[in-house]
Amino acid sequence: MKPLENAVYLNLPEIPLDQFLPIFLSSSFVLLFGLFFVAIYTLVKMEYLKPIFMPFAYFFWVLQVYCLYYVAVALGSDQFTVKALFMAMIGYLVLPHLWYYLNQRSEERYEH
């Protein structure tokens, strides 16, 4: 018995050739916009940028969510997968806030 005989394969539809470039670019933009969101958010929290730049961080997060939604729909994802990806994006928005809140609280605790 060969090890691949009992392997389970996903039967995913092929990506249409005319959809490859938009899907590729959108998935790349998910990474790029996520980087911009975290970078601007971090630089504002570290006071290297003025707080007026914070809306740009949230704008990049919104662009990231839109691009991820486009990729999920273009690939024909089911509703559960789309909801799971949306929940991951909510986590991506909340986790930096939690990180800096906990960091600030720990600094206050040990400074006083």
What Å distances lie between residue 106 and 45, 53, 75, 98, 103, CA to CA? 15, 26, 43, 12, 5
pLDDT given for residue 78 in this prediction: 87
pLDDT given for residue 3 in this prediction: 60
pLDDT in tens, 58-97: 999 999 999 999 999 998 888 999 999 999 999 999 999 9
DSSP category for residue 89: H
40 Cβ partners below 8 Å, 6+ apart? 49, 53, 54, 56, 57, 60
First-residue to last-residue Cα distance in the chain: 67
Distance CA 14, CA 36 (A): 31
pLDDT given for residue 68 in this prediction: 96
pLDDT given for residue 4 in this prediction: 62
pLDDT given for residue 14 in this prediction: 81
